[in-house]
Structure 1
């Protein structure tokens, strides 16, 4: 705006200076600037009313353009109009134009034949110039304001500030209002993600998913420990929310006792988005698994055992939905995030949670085998083997329990009808045994030997030959 105004002022000054030099108009004394501001009472009455009309015309243009673009944006993102009208910049600009219009009317009625309010007229002239110059930068601000990524960032920031206010020492009424606004923000981000998935807009969908994660992580790391106890109750503002109404009364009580309704709601939104994206935009599924892992890692850093358990429950739900859809590629990527989350639990001292998660991995390995998804079963086997290596590396107390679970993975795959899946599991176990031997842990390597000693010799020979042919750690395809 400054640049535009400066260019306009400079252009006028140059042209006006040329006129002063060439035309040499009579001076009233006091310099050329005062000559310019010496308004003639006989002619100023024609010019002043046009100032008010001009600023009113600009206000009409601004309102027309803004209303159109805001309405178009509101058709995609609910709540944009309310957000727009709460923004201080928008209120300030609109207020300026309205005040300038009112002042224009008042100035036009203040002129008399024997009196010209020069200061008032100059002020009105300046306001009109500012209104004209402000129009283009304000349009740029409006378009920036309505960019989807900025809308998402603003919703997330408002959710964080609202949660901070409501979870603090606010009154019961304000706490309940804050709960309702936080839930509304989560659902608004979910709507943005769902609409973007329907419109094949992966970038916006990803930003909305990440915004939910950013809110959850900031809440867990910065707000939750300092929150007042009433914040964790399900207030009347959210008790009637469909997600909470659909739960059993006991489950709702558990959310209150475990203090996890905020995180549950975030990941419940994730589960809905996950189901929508499973068939059309698998990259969003990968991102949801990654972001859920981040939430779990934040919970581990805060020693929030209830949230850790909740995180794994939702990760398990992702796996169930993926296997039901028989989506092998997505299952591979989700298991990768699952394994990394279990590793994080191990390294941060949550061995029991890690051991329980490995049990879940074994279960889904068996499920994938029953569904004849042998590649998924092999993926589970190699991930469990990697976790055993990590447990050995850090000296985890639950190491033997995790190893025992790994050796049970092939129990449900003992039928020869799916030899490929069984061989994949056995190769992962042989690989782990080789690691133990390299680490001079013969006792655990011997456990694997005893688990395999009754396998048919032809299978063991085939496994050895396949492993000996391996020359690189990378698979020959991009997964």
Structure 2
């Protein structure tokens, strides 16, 4: 069930109920009026039109009506039973919202309206039968309506099964949310509060479908649902500037689990929709950590691509919000000791950070600090390879910063050089060796491009190492000759690989670093 509700929503439900009742009564009375008028015309003209269609005697008419009434009631009961079971099963598997969507669909309403009105009309016609009067037009209309209902039954059932396909349900919910946000189509007459509520409910419902799909092991369905959330996210970012100024104000009912301070912040900065989407994605992330780690990469891709779109639109507040949620993901993955999730999150975090160099240079430094922090935290929590992953990503950021003439390269390198820590056990020692390897590979790049200042900085940082340790690190790097790791991984690369054209520069760096380490040891 949706996590948001409002008095306006409940009022809308009551209005829909009365509207349906009015349609049934109105349609039934309209049929009665029309057929009565036809009967009056027939009697006045003196022509027995019914002879060409149905028997006009009382017994034949009564028999016909009883037959079609029995058929209609059986058809109505069967349809309600089958459809109720199918809709309920779909609602239990994915989301109760399916029931609401079914009841709002105009084709569903139309078909059941046809059957109910037909049944009522047949009953009314049956009560008008008398010895001296047989309503031929009404009897004929009853038979035609039953035949029409029977003819439409098979196409209608096909429509129902198609509409209850999970992808179709997700698409319908997504389109409804986007239309409400933009105020388009049938939702153009909604109030601003109603538009906001429907948008938020669409996000929540698709998130619920995603979580249920993950729990049931339906990876494809989960990814499809995440893609739908992504489309809502991007559509909102693009339409945000055209929305009314009052859009930034929303109800606290949509954010029941957050503090008043955080709610005030996201409404004041007009990022409450983005925050809602990211909060739902965080819940999905928690579920994926338990059941479907493969989904995490898709989820991180969605956030990164939305962040890039926000960067293109100049909305840096969204970028800052996304970094906070990326940090949440890092923390949760470490708490669950899920190295594969860390591997994926760091990768997409780094790709997003690379895009920040030109337009948000200070934010890039902040993200580098975050990656360093979570790499160290993972190492302390018994995940040494996570710190090696952080080292590789920080090294890549430093190299990219040089290529793009990033104005704060010194600060970026300083953050990277702070990553390694004094090891407390053999596992942490392995992590530190991995960090030193990444730093040495970066130094070989700096030598290649002539950035001697940065080479000196890295060598000075390694001056406290023993010469023998540096030689063993150099030899390990020399022994790697394949860029691809011998197992299939998400990134498909070997962190320790140094291209042939750079190996001479690597040797040159170690000669410098070992010399400095020897000088330090001799003091």
Tell me if both proteins adopt one fold, taking TM over 0.5 as the criterion: yes
Contact 1:49–1:105 (CA under 8 A) maintained in structure 2? no
| Contact in 1 for aligned 2:163/2:169 (Cα 8 Å) | yes
User: Which residue pairs with 1:365 in the alignment?
Assistant: 375
Which of the residues 302, 305, 308 maps onto 1:297? 308
Alignment of 1:299-378 (within 5 A): 299-346=310-357, 349-378=359-388
Contact 1:180 1:237 in 2 (8 A): no
TM-score (norm 2): 0.75
SS at match of 1:243: coil
Q: Which residue of 1 aligns with 2:435?
A: 425
How far residue 332 of structure 1 moved from its aligned partner, in angstroms, is: 1.0
| Alignment partners' CA distance in 1, 2:144 and 2:481 | 78
Which residue of the other structure, out of 241, 247, 250, is the alignment partner of 1:225?
241
- Corresponding position: 1:41 with 2:56: yes
- Displacement after TM superposition at 1:161 (Å): 1.8
For residues 378 and 242 of structure 1, the distance between their equivalents in structure 2, rounded to whole angstroms, comes to 39
2:326, 2:51 → 1: CA distance? 74
- Listed one character per residue, the Cα deviations across residues 182-232 of structure 1 (whole Å, up to 9, x for unaligned) are 3333332232233333333333333333332221221112x2111222211
Cα pair 1:289 1:334 within 8 Å, conserved: yes
Q: What is the Cα deviation at residue 37 of structure 1?
A: 4.8
Q: 1:384 aligns with which of 380, 394, 398?
A: 394
Q: Which residue of 2 aligns with 1:137?
A: 155
Shift, 1:111, TM fit: 7.4
Whether 1:86 and 2:101 are equivalent positions in the alignment is no
Contact 2:50 2:56 in 1 (8 A): no
* Partner SS for 2:96: coil
Mapped partners of 1:146, 1:38: distance in 2: 40
Q: Distance in 2 between matches of 1:457 and 1:105?
A: 100
Aligned to 1:243: 257
In structure 1, the residue matched to 2:166 is 148
* Structure 2 Cα separation of the partners of residues 107 and 427 of structure 1: 90
Q: Is the counterpart of residue 75 in structure 1 residue 92 in structure 2?
A: yes
Q: Is the 8 A contact 1:37 1:118 kept in 2?
A: no
Give the Cα–Cα distance (whole angstroms) in 2 for the partners of residues 125 and 110 of structure 1.
16
Structure 1 unpaired stretches of 5+: 1-33
TM-score between the two structures when normalised by the length of structure 1: 0.82
Offset, 1:331: 1.0
1:176 lines up with 2:189 in the alignment: no
Q: 1:442 aligns with which of 440, 444, 452?
A: 452
> Are the aligned partners of 2:50 and 2:137 in contact in 1 as well (CA < 8 Å)?
no
Does residue 60 of structure 1 match 2:62? Answer: no
**Residue 349 of structure 1: CA displacement?**
2.6
Runs (4+) of structure 1 exceeding 6 A deviation are 109-120
Q: Deviations along 1:392-416, whole A, 9 cap, x unmatched?
A: 2222223332222112222x34668
> 1:358-389 CA distances to partner (integer Å, 9 max, x unpaired)?
11111112212222322111111111111122
**Does the CA-based 8 Å contact 2:53-2:140 persist in structure 1?**
no
Query: Structure 1 pair 126/437, CA: closer, same or farther in 2 (3 Å)?
Result: farther
Q: Structure 2 unaligned runs (5+)?
A: 1-48, 490-523
Counterpart for residue 44 of structure 2: none
Q: Is the 8 A contact 2:54 2:140 kept in 1?
A: no
Which residue among 180, 200, 212 is the counterpart of 1:162?
Answer: 180
